[in-house]
Amino acid sequence: MRRLIDQLSRQRRLTKEEWVTLIAGQPERDYLFARARETARQYYGNAVYTRGLIEFTSYCKNNCFYCGIRRDNRSVKRYRLSEEEILSCCEQGYGLGFRTFVLQGGEDAFFTDERLVPLLSEIKRRYPDCALTLSVGERTKSSYQRLFDAGADRYLLRHETADAAHYRVLHPQEMSYANRRACLRALKEIGYQVGCGFMVGSPGQTAECLAEDMLFITELRPQMVGIGPFVPHHETPFAREAGGTAELTLYMIALLRLLKPDLLLPATTALGTIDPEGREKGILAGANVVMPNLSPTGVRKQYELYDNKICTGDEAAECRSCLSRRMERIGYRLVTDRGDPAKGPGGIICTT
């Protein structure tokens, strides 16, 4: 089995059957983690990139079966941050050392291009040294283009699953697997740094589905891949389904690091939610990004995609210093940097 892991690390691709063998059996965990960690070190040293996450709207027109802010969940108190509130999150984040802001939200029709374009331009005018990431779901290619022209550098749009039949298990009929993929391709063509991703252990997911995810990522060549365990939310159709495990999530993180050594790979909040040391373990399995929350504490609880989400009560500064301590304990450092993909091996070891 080490042979397969070495082969992945050398050739940066595997066949579907080879992926299934690794994913279904999770052989040689320690060997894989060591290889993945060493690869991350070669490219990124001991630097951990941070992104300040601003969850700016919880309105959503979609009805994804797994998501706590799905349209049919009548018990969420919906909110939308004003432009001033968003800018004040950025100001606070900048002061704390964030050089990437991620604007994430549900698919909220209020945020037309006409509303987003001036907001993005203003953020870029105030913080020209920062990268701006959007994560607002599916839009038209011309909308993606306008947002890019207004200053958005990166776009996160998890593909959720690369298996068409599995996509149908997770989403209602009106949502389209083909459109999700078309959006990702459009984003790449426009020139965004693109992030796709999937949940680990979502209902109906098999090792074959995850193998398809790896093949899809091999072909798309995204700059980022966001993965975290599926965590059930009590007000969704998946309330009684089992959640994903930290074990498999970590294994997938490590495989992704070997598949694409320069990948921006977050140790996600969902991973930190199901295991108190999940984010540390994620970094030690090859992740190199963390995304603490910059949203105002007053609304945090209302952006609950899954149950028991951590850090919903903390101020942004507390989140940052808590994560910083956690990273230092395992020999890594949060860096004040836009955190673009590494150009090649030669990661820096930070001591300050």
List, in sequence order, every residue forming a beta bridge with 48; answer none if it has no partner. Answer: 334
Residue 113, class by beta-carbon neighbours within 10 Å (0-12 exposed, 13-18 middle, 19+ buried)? middle
In terms of CB distance, is 135 or 295 closer to ligand SAH?
135
Residues 158-217 that bind ligand SAH (CB under 6 A): 158, 160, 199
Return d(Cα 26, Cα 175) in angstroms, integer: 32
Give the one residue of 19, 56, 66, 216 binding ligand SAH; rule: CB under 6 A.
66
Residue 96, token pair as written in the block? 């704390």
Q: Does the footprint of ligand SAH cover residue 270 (CB under 6 A)?
A: yes
Return d(Cα 327, Cα 107) in angstroms, integer: 33
In terms of CB distance, is 249 or 288 closer to ligand SAH?
249
CB of 284 to ligand SAH, least distance (A): 21
Candidate ranges 153-161, 166-174, 186-194, 331-339; the one touching ligand SAH (CB under 6 A): 153-161
CB of 170 to ligand SAH, least distance (A): 9
Q: Does the footprint of ligand SAH cover residue 67 (CB under 6 A)?
A: yes
Q: Does the footprint of ligand SAH cover residue 107 (CB under 6 A)?
A: yes
Q: How far does Cα 223 stand from its chain's mean position? A: 11
- Tokens 């050739």 belong to which residue? 11
Q: Does the footprint of ligand SAH cover residue 111 (CB under 6 A)?
A: no
Side-chain-facing half-sphere of 300: CA atoms under 13 Å: 19
Give the one residue of 39, 133, 135, 295 binding ligand SAH; rule: CB under 6 A.
135
Q: How far does Cα 185 stand from its chain's mean position? A: 18
Return d(Cα 352, Cα 350) in angstroms, integer: 6
3-state secondary structure of 50: strand
Q: Which run of H or E residues covers position 23?
A: helix 16-25
Residues 216-235 that bind ligand SAH (CB under 6 A): 228, 230-231, 233
Number of residues that bind ligand SAH (CB under 6 A): 19
Q: Does the footprint of ligand SAH cover residue 272 (CB under 6 A)?
A: no
CB atoms within 10 A of CB 142: 11
In terms of CB distance, is 66 or 144 closer to ligand SAH?
66
Q: Which residues bind ligand SAH (CB under 6 A)?
A: 66-67, 104, 106-107, 135-137, 157-158, 160, 199, 228, 230-231, 233, 270, 305-306
